[in-house]
Chain A
Amino acid sequence: MEGDLAHIGAGLAAIGSGAAAIGVGNVAGNFLAGALRNPSAAASQTATLFIGIAFAEALGIFAFLVALLLMFAV
C-alpha cells in the first residue's frame, strides 16, 4: 500500500516535467521572437539562451528526480 501511494506521488511529480517543458518553450520562443526582430544581435545571445534553457530545465529535472526517488528509493 505504501508503495502504491509512492507511485501516485511519482506520477504527480512527473507533472513538473511538463511545467519545465512550458518554461523551456517560453525561453526558446521568446529568444526566437527577439532574434527575428534583431537578427544581428541573435548570434551573440545564444549562450544566454542555453543558460536560460538549462536553468529552466534543471527544475524539471528536479521533479523527475523526485519521481525517481519515489519510484525506486521509497
Chain B
Amino acid sequence: MASEAHGAEEGGLVFHPMDQFIIKPLFGGDTIAWYTPTNASLWMALAVLAIIGLLVLGSSKRAIVPTRMQSIAELAYGFIYKMVEDICGKDGVKYFPYVMTLFMFIVCANFLGLLPLSFTTTSHFAVTTVLALAVFLTVTILGFVLNGTKFLGLFWVSSAPLALRPVLAIIELISYFVRPVSHSIRLAGNVMAGHAVIKVFAGFAAITVISPVSVLAITAMYGLEVLVAFIQAYVFTILTCVYLKDALHPSH
C-alpha cells in the first residue's frame, strides 16, 4: 500500500506492475463468488479453445501428409508421449492423457498470457497450486495404491549406510512435501516475474529520454518470456513425469 501511494506521488513515473494480475468480474459487479465468470475464467476458456483448435480441428483432416496445424499437433503429441515413455517407462503410458492435459493447459495459458492486454492465468498461485496439488495427490495416492507400503521405500534409501538412513529419510520426507510448493511457485513465479518486469520497463517508457532503451528492453524481455513460457510448461511436465515415475517404480 505504501508503494502504491509512492507511485501516485511521483506523478510521471507510475509503476503498477501487479495491476495486470487483478481478477475482475467479466460482466461488471464487484463481488467475486465461486461461480462468477471473471477475466481469469475467460482466458482459461480461451486456452481450452486454443487446445481444441490445435489438437481437434488441426487433426480433423487425418491427413497422411500433415498440414501445418496437424504437424504442430503431432509434434506436441510425440513430444509429450516420448517424455512420458522415456521417464515413466512403458507402464506409465496410460497416464499420458493426464500429463498431456497439464502440459497443453500450461503451455496454452502461458502463450495466451503473452498477448498484450491479456490475462495470464498461470501467474496465479491459486491455479498453479491446484495443478501442483493435483500432481502431488495423484502421485501419492497412486504410489500407495500400486505399491502398498512399499511406496514408503522411497524415503528409506537402502543404498546409504544404515546409520545415515533415518537422517536421509527425514530429508527425503521434507523434500517430498516441498515438491508441490516448489512445483507451483516455480511456474507462477517465473510467469509473474517476467510479466512484472515487462510492466516495470513499460513504466520507464514514460520518460522520453529513456523510452527507446525501455522499448528495447521490453522486446528483449518479451523474447525471453516466450522462451520461459515454453520452458516452464516443459519443466512442469517433466517434473510431473519424474514424480509419476516415483509412484510407479518407488525403488531408487
Q: Please, how many angstroms separate the alpha-carbon atoms of A72 and B21 in the complex?
A: 13
Q: Check A51 against B238 for contact (C-beta < 8 Å).
A: yes
Q: Check A64 against B182 for contact (C-beta < 8 Å).
A: no
Q: Does B18 contact A (CB under 8 A)?
A: yes
Contact pattern, B 202-235, Cβ under 8 Å of A = 1, otherwise 0: 0000000000000000000000000000010011
A-B contact count (CB 8 A): 48
Contact pattern, B 1-39, Cβ under 8 Å of A = 1, otherwise 0: 111000000000000001000000000000000000000
**Residues of B within 8 Å of A, CB-based: how many?**
21
Q: Does A65 contact B (CB under 8 A)?
A: yes
Q: Check B238 against A50 for contact (C-beta < 8 Å).
A: yes
User: Which residues 20-74 of A have a CB within 8 angstroms of B?
Assistant: 47, 50-51, 53-55, 57-58, 61-62, 64-65, 68, 71-72
Chain B facing A: main interface SS: helix
Q: Check A61 against B238 for contact (C-beta < 8 Å).
A: no
A residues less than 8 Å from B2 (CB atoms): 2-4, 6
* A58-B186 contact in complex given A47-B83, A64-B193, A71-B3, C-beta closer than 8 Å: yes
Q: What is the interface of chain B, defined by CB distance below 8 A to chain A? A: 1-3, 18, 83, 86-87, 182, 185-186, 189-190, 192-193, 196, 231, 234-235, 238-239, 242
Closest 5 A/B residue pairs (Cβ):
A3-B2, A61-B189, A54-B235, A58-B186, A58-B182
